[in-house]
Amino acid sequence: MTNTRDQDSMDLEKAVSPQWNVTVQAAAGTGKTWLLVRRILCLLISGVAPDEILSITFTRKAAREIGIRVNETLYELATANDQTIRELLAEIGLPHDSEHAEKVRDLYERVLSCEHPLRTTTFHAFCQELLQRFPFDTEVPTEFDLLEQTHEQELAAWRRLCAQATRQQNGLLANNMDRLLGYCGSHNTRLLLLSFLNHRSDWWAYTENQKDPLGYATQGTMDHFNIDPQAKPIEDYLNTPEFVSAIQEYLQFLELQGHKTALRHHRCLLASLDDTQPSHKRFADVHKALFKVDGQPRQLKLSAALRNKLGASSIDKTTALHERLCHELSMVLEQQRRVDNLHLNLAWFQCGTVLLNEFQNLKQTQGLLDFSDLEWQAYRLLNRSGNANWIQYKLDQAIGHVLIDEFQDTNPTQWQLLRPLLEEILSGNPERNRSIFLVGDTKQSIYGFRRADPGLMTEATQWLGQWPNTVAVQQYRSWRSSKVIIDFVNLLFGDGPSQQLLDDFSPHETHRNDLWGWVELLPLVIAEEDSTASDTSDFRNPLTHPRIVTEDLRYRREADLIANKIMELRGLPVGAENKPLDFGDIIVLLRDRGHAKAYEQGLRRAGIPYTGAGRGTLLESLEAQDITHLLRTLIAPFDDLALAGTLRSPIFNCSDDDMMVLALEDEAGHWRQRLATITERHPRLYRARCLLQRWQSLTDKIPVHDLLDRIYTEGNIVDRYQAAAPEHLNQRVEANLTRLLELALDMDGGRYPSLRRFVNHLVDLQQNTHAAPDEPPARNPNRVHIMTIHAAKGLEAQVVFLADSARPKPPAQAYRALVDWPSGSPRPSGIHMIGRKENLDQATEITVSKALQQQQREQAHLLYVAVTRAQQVLIISGCSPKKGDGGWFDRMGQCLMDASTEHDSLEIDINADGEWVGAKMGGPLPQHRPIAQEPDPVQPATDPRLTRRLISNDGDDSEINPSTDNTALEQVELTEMTSTPDPSDTSAADRGELIHACLEGLPKTEDRKGLYQLIRQHWATVSNPIFQSCWEEACAVVDDPKLAPLFDHSHFDQALSEVAILYQDQESNHPIYGVIDRLIHFPDHILVLDYKTHTAVTTQTARHHARVHARQLGLYIQGARRLWPDTPIKAGVLFTVCRQFVELEV
């Protein structure tokens, strides 16, 4: 008999051999990714060109990891000695003789120098490549952009749908919308239609190649319900003579009973005979009399006296009548439910297709494709296009070996697009070695909400098994977990109720028998009685007695329990190196993010650094909200609340007393007006006034990213927030602020959105949690990671906490799409909407029952993924549910209870009532080891000149702009320093900027016609007379013979235009910033030239006007002398209107 390990070895040899087509069912921790990497390495070593290998997975991270591991192994083979190479070859599964050792040495170089590199990609990237490679065979734009978040388009399509229904209030769309709104309500109607939109790939597959997709779906739905849409079951039944006579006979029986309940039912039945009432009310009356609230028929209860009075024959007759009426009513109700559900489904189809068309049209006009479009169009390209066979042939020539990772996450559309490509590869030229490699684990299929179908793994295995040289390999020996963890997994899924959900489970083994392990079920947190609950029988005065809100403290207490356990475990020796356990070795897993904040707060209270589980929480952070308030203040000066939040934030750190100064200000108007009157007596408010005025002047002049960058620099934002935050949150605060800055570039692909649009974009992101940005990962890896089980798939940790494990099973979801797509079928067999549970008909209940079984199976998969993340320690906690069972916790506890007599390492905790409250498995725990303090990071040597601040440290960070400093005063107010043009003098400002632009370009070119067109294009908003006047004035200046030394290149060595200058004045300690209009290098000196476009200057008054600008040019000369200290520097002013140059003595 073959030994299990020998069989595993033989299977692995086939799994990595290029001669075999392989499907691998690999349990958690058995090394699926390394097996795929080994397969790629064997292909490369056997001589396969890198561009013939296609490796597909589901995430960019996984694709990058595969590529990195392949390159790292090749590099190791290229640089290792002979002994190491032989060991690596043996680990890969290849002969480790000298011939192979020499063969692999130059493999790294050959792979890197290959013209077409090895492709490790995702499904969507592969589809995108196909569409771009064959653009004329698809129905997509030749150049399209990928849309990763569809929230904005979904919202716009919903608005268009509503607008279309409103315009045609008596149309078919409006009537169907009314039907959905009347049944589902506004919120659920939107959920239902968005569910249709999210299942658009299923809809396209269901109605593929149909001339009338809506008509086809309508007929299929009518066949499903097997009912005439025009039928009126209730009305027809109530109007039959048999019903009337049966009710009258039943009324006589109720009169004989005579008690209160019978008389109440008597009144209901009597009302049901009133044909003047609506049919649905009459039916409700009779149903109320004969059925209980839960929908079950009432039992016919007869007292002894009534039995004697009626006699046996009358009793049998009455019983038969009661049963007949109940049966008939049930049948009528079933028929009516089918009619109602049919109409609802048809209305859903009608409105959903309109919404889908609007959604697709929006993307088409913008040249966008989302992930569903990529998959569907790639499927059509390989299956339904006119050149599908030719495309398959071309791909077959380019691709020789396909490897697919995590195959259990494949959805039906992806499988249907892959099949023709795989068939072409397998049925091609037998002399050319080609292969298929599929690896996955149906037990880890947890992405049903993304349409993943684990049944496709079984379908693909059976399909591939029909081809020659195919082997199916199973791997159940873990390289990750200790024996105790694996024993617990086998107890949990090997026997008991969980085995029924994981019908493909086989007992696991492990290679890590040398590791100690520990599994512990902590006692459930019990809800405490709240003694502060108010007496609801008395009214309260809301002005004097606040409402008492009862807080559920269970999750807070569970979080504290987890934090205490973390500190208790910290320092235990873990891993093969027995290094002390630290925070970075721990993961806290949650089923969802519902109570993530409670666990984060618990770790924060204990001073434990962590990485949170929140999705889209960047904009919920305090620092992001403060920056948003600041931006609101800049674009909405009347928003006093945003200003107050900005002032109180660490940006300005204003105190309560400062806020009271503004609140009590005598000046009328909003707070920005009051802030403008603040003087230096209040330094924090005065700083806010100066900075806000400066930043507001830049809102429409520079891009949002540049504005934020300037705010961060001038406001010292990062340092201020780090000083205000606890030390262990400093890195998170800095990362959040940096990520917020990056969002300004990410938006619109860096197309410079306005500040108002950027703020509105942030609001939209915050309202849509699926599109909202996450907090960036912290740079310090030594943190506890809180994450959902879905996010943790593929990860592992020495210690895993499974929190909130006692939650009851999730309820069935209503108001959603339900797709029945059998595994392996080319298209769905039906698509239906699911409404309220009490209105489901029997035909729909069968489909819902199948979906619930899949949901329960996926919940078992989720539990399997959670417990197999642990390497050595698994801690399970939970809160006692207020109603329902204990979910996973009870299931795990019961498994341990059942096995307690068979395992000596099991310890069950029993309370005083004899009930189990916890359990421990494994041990004893080893002794703790001291944790070495992390050394301070080594700071690189920095030139001290680079650290000197340009901004003064005396608290006055105002900036002097010489071009706006037209006074002779030494002290300049900030409002005078800021270049804010007067709105009433817009034409003068435009005139000055336009003449400057012309004077900058004219000396550089002889093609004045081309320059004219270029400048006119940039100044399209200026009227023709003004533009022509400015152009002619600039040309006259350049053509004036007496000004030739300033513009003719034969008179000077070099001339520079628009020269920015920035330096710190030594006397005033102010930063000086300005722009020199023209700087000319003559052989013996340098000239600083400034253009002035004032229209009131004449030849006679030019020198008088020039003296006003002496200070400005003096500041320019000071800056220029720092660059050219040995060259004489002169300065002058050129008045363009009179073409007069005046040299100044400064």
- 577 and 653 inside one domain: no
Report the percent of the chain where pLDDT is more than 70: 89
Residue 406: inside a domain, yes or no? yes
The pLDDT assigned to 934 comes to: 60
The pLDDT assigned to 756 comes to: 80
- 747 and 794 inside one domain: no
- 762 and 805 inside one domain: no
pLDDT at 975 over 70: no
The pLDDT assigned to 1091 comes to: 93
Q: Exposed (0-12), middle (13-18) or buried (19+): which is 669, by Cβ within 10 Å?
A: exposed
Give the separation between CA 886 and CA 1119, rounded to whole angstroms. Answer: 76
* For residues 450-464, average pLDDT: 92
Give the separation between CA 766 and CA 759, rounded to whole angstroms. Answer: 11
* For residues 614-640, average pLDDT: 81
- 327 and 471 inside one domain: no
Residue 110: inside a domain, yes or no? yes
pLDDT at 448 over 80: yes
Tell me the pLDDT tens digit for each residue of 798-852: 999 999 999 887 777 788 899 999 988 999 999 999 888 888 888 888 888 888 8
- 99 and 192 inside one domain: no
pLDDT at 763 over 90: no
Higher-confidence position of 155 and 776: 155
CB 247 within 8 A of CB 273: yes
- pTM assigned to the model: 0.75
Q: In the structure encoding, which two tokens stand for residue 858, read together?
A: 């996926």
Q: Kindly indicate the confidence band of residue 985, based on its pLDDT and cuts at 50, 70 and 90.
A: very low
Residue 806: inside a domain, yes or no? yes
- 523 and 464 inside one domain: no
Report the CATH number at residue 589: 3.40.50.300
- 164 and 279 inside one domain: yes
The pLDDT assigned to 743 comes to: 80
Strands 573-574 and 579-580: antiparallel
- 338 and 454 inside one domain: no
The pLDDT assigned to 908 comes to: 86
- 647 and 733 inside one domain: yes
3-state secondary structure of 816: strand
pLDDT at 648 over 60: yes
Q: In the structure encoding, which two tokens stand for residue 934, read together?
A: 């992390």
Tell me the pLDDT tens digit for each residue of 991-1021: 888 999 899 989 988 888 888 888 887 787 7
pLDDT at 280 over 50: yes
Residue 1073: inside a domain, yes or no? yes
Higher-confidence position of 975 and 657: 657
How much is the mean pLDDT over the chain?
84
Report the CATH number at residue 1120: 3.90.320.10
Token pair 């340009």 in the structure block, residue: 950
Q: Kindly indicate the confidence band of residue 774, based on its pLDDT and cuts at 50, 70 and 90.
A: low
Higher-confidence position of 974 and 387: 387
- 301 and 415 inside one domain: no
Domain closes at, from 922, 954, 970? 922
Tell me the pLDDT tens digit for each residue of 864-887: 999 999 999 999 999 988 877 788
Residue 952: inside a domain, yes or no? no
pLDDT at 342 over 90: yes
* For residues 142-165, average pLDDT: 90
Q: Kindly indicate the confidence band of residue 5, based on its pLDDT and cuts at 50, 70 and 90.
A: low
pLDDT at 24 over 90: yes
- 198 and 333 inside one domain: yes
Give the separation between CA 996 and CA 1075, rounded to whole angstroms. Answer: 12
Q: How many domains, in total, are found in the chain?
A: 5
The pLDDT assigned to 697 comes to: 86
Tell me the pLDDT tens digit for each residue of 410-433: 999 999 999 998 998 888 777 778
Q: Kindly indicate the confidence band of residue 532, based on its pLDDT and cuts at 50, 70 and 90.
A: very low
Q: Kindly indicate the confidence band of residue 529, based on its pLDDT and cuts at 50, 70 and 90.
A: low
Report the CATH number at residue 624: 1.10.486.10
Residue 967: inside a domain, yes or no? yes
Residue 867: inside a domain, yes or no? yes
Beta bridge partners of 578: none
Q: In the structure encoding, which two tokens stand for residue 678, read together?
A: 């603040």
Q: Kindly indicate the confidence band of residue 456, based on its pLDDT and cuts at 50, 70 and 90.
A: very high
Q: Exposed (0-12), middle (13-18) or buried (19+): which is 983, by Cβ within 10 Å?
A: exposed
Return all residues near 144 (Cβ < 8 A) that are at least 6 apart. Answer: 131, 367, 368, 369
The pLDDT assigned to 773 comes to: 52
Give the separation between CA 913 and CA 583, rounded to whole angstroms. Answer: 37
* For residues 221-227, average pLDDT: 91
Residue 158: inside a domain, yes or no? yes
Q: In terms of residue numbers, what domain contains 813?
A: 518-527+552-611+782-818+844-922
* For residues 82-89, average pLDDT: 85
Instruction: Please report the DSSP string for 863-905 in residue order.
Output: HHHHHTTEEEEEEE--B--SSS--HHHHHHHHHHHHHTTT-TT
CB neighbourhood size of 418 (10 A): 24
Tell me the pLDDT tens digit for each residue of 915-954: 788 889 987 889 988 887 665 544 555 555 555 544 444 4
Q: Kindly indicate the confidence band of residue 973, based on its pLDDT and cuts at 50, 70 and 90.
A: very low
The pLDDT assigned to 671 comes to: 82
Domain closes at, from 341, 366, 391? 366
- 729 and 790 inside one domain: no
Q: In the structure encoding, which two tokens stand for residue 793, read together?
A: 């798939």
The pLDDT assigned to 972 comes to: 30
pLDDT at 982 over 80: no
Token pair 């005063």 in the structure block, residue: 969
The pLDDT assigned to 394 comes to: 81
The pLDDT assigned to 955 comes to: 40
pLDDT at 306 over 80: no
- Residues written for the chain: 1146
Tell me the pLDDT tens digit for each residue of 667-678: 667 787 788 888
Report the percent of the chain where pLDDT is more than 90: 38
Domain closes at, from 316, 344, 366? 366
